[in-house]
Amino acid sequence: MITPGIPLRMIVFKGRNEWTMICLETYIAVQASVWEDLETKMRDATQLYFQSFSAEAIEQGEYIRMAPLSYRLLWSFRSGFLGLTKLISGPLRATYDPLHARLQFA
C-alpha cells in the first residue's frame, strides 16, 4: 500500500538575483528569480522524479537520496544559524502525494 503523503523538507536560499530551493530527502535543487516560479519548478521536478519510481519502490523508500550533511544541519539548527547564513526563509515542509502526483507546500 502506498503512503498517502511523503513528507519532504525544503531549504531555501536567496542569492543576489535568484532563489534556490533544495529538497533534503531527494536532493532536487531548483532556481528561479521569483518565488512563484521557484515553487512551480520544485513541484514539476518533484513530480517527474517520483514518476520515475514504481509504487513499490516509493513504498520501500528507494526515492531517498539525501542532500549533503551541511544542508541537513542547516535545517536542524536553522534558529541558531539564521543570522549567520544566507538562509532568509525558514525551512519549508512539503508533502508529495504519489496517488495524485502532487506536491503541496505546508
User: pLDDT tens digit string along 46-68?
Assistant: 999 999 999 999 999 999 999 99
Residues 6+ apart with CB under 8 A from 9: 23, 24, 25, 75, 91, 92, 93, 94
Structure confidence at residue 1 as a pLDDT band (50, 70, 90): very low
Phi/psi for 44 (5° steps) reads: -60, -45
Mean per-residue pLDDT for 13-24?
A: 92
pLDDT on residue 2: 47
Q: What is the pLDDT of residue 90?
A: 55
Look up the pTM and report it: 0.76
